[in-house]
């Protein structure tokens, strides 16, 4: 009986450590994107062909889906954003931008009319 209690306590502790590590990695990644937004992006000006901007997409994807899946989604988005890209609306699945897009009738069906962000 005591062994099961100890195993349960150990599992809870390991889950807490795992969650803390994931939270820490997420905060670090979001911090790096924010650093880009406040230092480099203003020098480049609005260039993103999508709404939300790639950096805003990255932050939202990391916050909604975690550092690994969200980071992967952000990387794929950044690779899609290039001069030959049509751009347009590309909200984070399950995120606030997707909800905003759904509230704006038909906004996700065509090119972006929203202003670019940093």
Answer whether residue 92 shows pLDDT above 70.
yes
- Structure tokens that stand for 54 in this block: 């790639």
Which secondary-structure segment (H or E) carries 36?
helix 2-39
Q: State the Cα–Cα distance between residues 87 and 49, nearest whole angstrom.
A: 4
Q: Is residue 115 part of a domain?
A: no
Tally of structural domains, the chain: 1
**What was the pLDDT predicted at 53?**
93
Would you say residue 117 lies in a domain?
no
81 pLDDT band, cuts 50/70/90, is very high
- Which domain does 43 fall in, by range? 2-109
Summarize pLDDT for 38-76 with one digit per residue, the tens.
999 999 988 889 999 999 999 999 999 999 999 999 999
Q: Tell me whether residue 65 is in a domain.
A: yes
């Amino acid at each position: 009986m005591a062994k099961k209690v100890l195993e349960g306590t150990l599992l809870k502790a390991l889950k807490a450590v795992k969650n803390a590590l994931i939270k820490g990695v997420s905060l670090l990644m979001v911090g790096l994107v924010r650093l880009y937004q406040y230092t480099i992006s203003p020098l480049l000006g609005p260039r993103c062909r999508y709404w939300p901007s790639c950096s805003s997409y990255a932050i939202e994807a990391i916050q909604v889906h975690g550092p690994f899946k969200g980071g992967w989604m952000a990387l794929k988005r950044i690779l899609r954003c290039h001069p030959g890209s049509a751009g347009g609306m590309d909200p984070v699945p399950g995120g606030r931008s997707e909800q905003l897009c759904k509230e704006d009738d038909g906004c996700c069906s065509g090119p972006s009319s929203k202003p670019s962000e940093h």
